[in-house]
Structure 1
Amino acid sequence: MKKVGVIPVRKGSKGIPNKNKKKMVGRPLFTWVLKEAIFSDLDEVYVFTDDDQIIAFIEKEYHWTNKVKGILRGEENASDTASTEAAMLEFSEMINFDFDVICLLQATSPFTLYTDINSCVNKVAEQNYNAALTVVKTHRFTWTANEGADNYDIYNRPRRQDFKGLLIENGAVYCTTKNDFSKSKNRISGNIATVEMPEESLTEIDSKEDWVIVEKLLARRLKKGRQPSRITHLVLDVDGVFTNGCITYTADGEHTKSFDMRDGMGLEILREDNIKVIIMTSENSALVAARMNKLKIEDVYLGVKDKYALIANIVKKESLDLAHIAYMGDDVNDLANLCSVGWALVPHNATERVKPYADVLMNADSGNGAIREACEWIIRYNERFD
């Protein structure tokens, strides 16, 4: 049974300009659900968009998986007035309905986890439901204008623990079979199952105020799941961590970067203590490659924009645990990793946006001994497990 996921992503957005590409906890909004889809039981995941930049981003960024594809959608079904069902139908026709189950994933639902996707797929593929969708249970009392209370007796107000509550669509995941979608032309139909998600997932992102709320909730969820343990891996950004963030240019391009020799010695000490060092940077720099080769660091990832998805792939591939990983970064594109690993380390001169998320703020600046200080801190910290 072939299970396919589709994430419709429009270029335009009125409430929040470029909303789907805007960085939420340091990552483009649409990549939160995309990453979860990659690690779900879906066989293929398509980002269906009218944005050429997103197509290029996907082709470059997710080369480590053959599960993700970007498809350009027509302008007619990417307008403000076009229905999601119309986009789903266009997508299905473009891939010749080559699926048994189709899963609609909303790009603006960053709280979606692979477990939510799997639960919906399982309802349809294994439990004989025609469709499934995600919902949130709320214990709020509802009213209809001029008609009074909808779901409770105002003279016998129930206690929260005695109130069954309501199930409300959160718009995150919808799943149905090819046959049912072909007949109904609707995202759900027939015998429909529900999958509950946390109440925070009900928050919509329609304004800048919504964005701030969701970002804080998402960062809190990432941090809440952390369980610091013995550190076995140190993941490092480069610019603003190894270097002070400055580079010089000539007419031919990048010229020099400055590295601190003390950092190199610190990393050598770490390796002697069986701690693996991984380099992960958004820049694709020959200078960085040369320096890491000099330091004999083998795991070097250059030109990485979605660091969170990549580190998740490394964790899965090598059967690691985020609790054993320390990460050092200095800017917003490091935020998701800083929030999710066992220990978040930042140089003293990191951006103010990042510092509140640090577990340890170094006394030294980047390019001036911050990594060496972090290495010595890790050695001292690990002594408690010896």
Structure 2
Amino acid sequence: MRKIGFIPLRKGSKGILNKNKRKMVGRPLFTWVLGEAIFSELDEVFVYTDDETIIEFINKEYYWTNKIKALLRSKESANDTASTESAILEFCETTNYNFDVFCLLQATSPFTKKDDINNCLKEIGNDFDSALTVVKTHRFLWDESGNPINYNPLERPRRQDFEGLLIENGAVYVVTKNALKKHKNRLGENTAIVKMPEDSLLEIDTESDWVAVESLLIERQKRYKESQKITHVVFDVDGVFTDGTISYTKEGEHTKVFDMRDGMGIEILKQFDIEVMVMTSENSELVAKRMKKLKLKHVFLGVKDKYTLLNQVMQEKGKTLNNVAYVGDDVNDLTNICSVGWSLAPNNATDIVKQHADIVLSKNSGAGAIREACQFIMNYNKRF
């Protein structure tokens, strides 16, 4: 049974400029659900967009998996009046309905986890031809005429005694091919419901919504953290190995300055069987040469979605993010800073990173911060 995911993205956004590409906790918004889809039980995931920069991003960023495909959608299916169903049907006809189960994933639902996707998929075949995610709300609802909808005001129940209502949160919809072809709709005739946390009901339509969702995501990532033995350390480069500045020559070439004490710290870590990795958004020949000098085997250059790649690497190694210490300094490190077992930031890191890092080092980047981080990790691991 071939199960595919479908993430429709439009270039335009009325409420929030470039919403799908804007960084949410340091990652483009659409990568939150895309990353979860990669690790779900879906066989393939299609990003359907009229934004060629997103297609370029996906082709470059997710080279390590053949599960993701980015396709260009027509202008007609991406205009302001086009429905999601019109994009779905256009895609299905273009690909000749090459699937058994279709899963619609909304990029504006960053709370979606792989388990939510898998739980919807599991319902298909159990007398259900479709499934969707919902949230239970304990709000008291009224209509425009001033009539109560879901309770008796004269017998107002306590919250713990109130059953509440189930509301679509718009995150995940799953439907069989036969039902989709018959009804031309994301849902069939017999629909299963899968509950998600109440936070996932929030929609991102305004700047205030964005701030609220981002804060909730940060706190969710922190709740997952567990302090375990550190087996892997990941370093950003600019603003961690270096002071974050670049010197240019008149020929246009640039130089970076590295602290030799940091190199000694990394050498000591490796003696204690702690694997050291480097993950940076810049694709720099100078960085590659420095890491080769340090004899680091796992160097990832030009990475924009660091969180998804780090999850993939740790999954391959049979470890979790709780076994990782991460040292970063800027917003593109933020999700990892909030998610790993231990996160550390140089003293001159950006304020947002220092606010959420577990440890703010006394040393600045490029001036002994890595050496100090290595010492902390060695001392911490002694308890194990």
**TM-score in terms of structure 2 length:** 0.99
Cα shift readout 1:339-359 (whole Å, capped 9, x = no counterpart): 110001000000112111111
Distance 2:253 2:357 in 1: 31
Q: Which residue in the other structure is 2:143 paired with?
A: 144
SS in 2 for 1:82: coil
SS in 2 for 1:210: helix
- Kindly indicate whether the alpha-carbon contact (under 8 Å) linking 2:25 and 2:335 is maintained by their aligned counterparts in 1: yes
Q: Which residue in the other structure is 2:18 paired with?
A: 18
SS in 2 for 1:149: coil
Q: Which residue in the other structure is 1:72 paired with?
A: 72
Distance 1:88 1:248 in 2: 49
- Kindly indicate whether the alpha-carbon contact (under 8 Å) linking 2:141 and 2:148 is maintained by their aligned counterparts in 1: yes
Cα shift readout 1:259-294 (whole Å, capped 9, x = no counterpart): 000000000010111111000001111111110010
Report deviation, 1:252.
5.0
Q: How many equivalent pairs are there?
A: 384
SS in 2 for 1:57: helix
Distance 2:168 2:356 in 1: 32
Using a 3 Å threshold, how does the CA distance of structure 1 residues 133 and 252 change in structure 2: closer, same or farther? Answer: farther
Distance 1:161 1:200 in 2: 18
Q: Which residue in the other structure is 1:378 paired with?
A: 377
Aligned amino acid, residue 16 of structure 2: I
Q: Which residue in the other structure is 1:208 paired with?
A: 207
What RMSD over aligned residues (CA atoms) do the two structures have, in Å? 0.9
**TM-score in terms of structure 1 length:** 0.98
Unaligned 5+ runs, structure 1: none
Percentage of matched positions with identical amino acids: 62
Unaligned 5+ runs, structure 2: none
SS in 1 for 2:265: helix
Report deviation, 1:65.
0.4
Distance 1:233 1:12 in 2: 40
Q: Which residue in the other structure is 2:52 paired with?
A: 52
Distance 2:31 2:281 in 1: 16
- Kindly indicate whether the alpha-carbon contact (under 8 Å) linking 2:281 and 2:304 is maintained by their aligned counterparts in 1: yes
- Kindly indicate whether the alpha-carbon contact (under 8 Å) linking 1:247 and 1:254 is maintained by their aligned counterparts in 2: no
SS in 2 for 1:287: helix
Moved more, 270-279 or 242-251: 242-251
Using a 3 Å threshold, how does the CA distance of structure 1 residues 159 and 39 change in structure 2: closer, same or farther? Answer: same
SS in 1 for 2:119: helix
Instruction: Give runs of aligned pairs for residues 1-386 of structure 1, distance below 5 A.
Output: 1-124=1-124, 126-250=125-249, 253-385=252-384
Using a 3 Å threshold, how does the CA distance of structure 1 residues 173 and 254 change in structure 2: closer, same or farther? Answer: farther
Distance 1:232 1:4 in 2: 35
Report deviation, 1:250.
3.6
Aligned amino acid, residue 257 of structure 1: K
Report deviation, 1:251.
5.6
Distance 1:201 1:264 in 2: 44
- Kindly indicate whether the alpha-carbon contact (under 8 Å) linking 2:311 and 2:320 is maintained by their aligned counterparts in 1: no
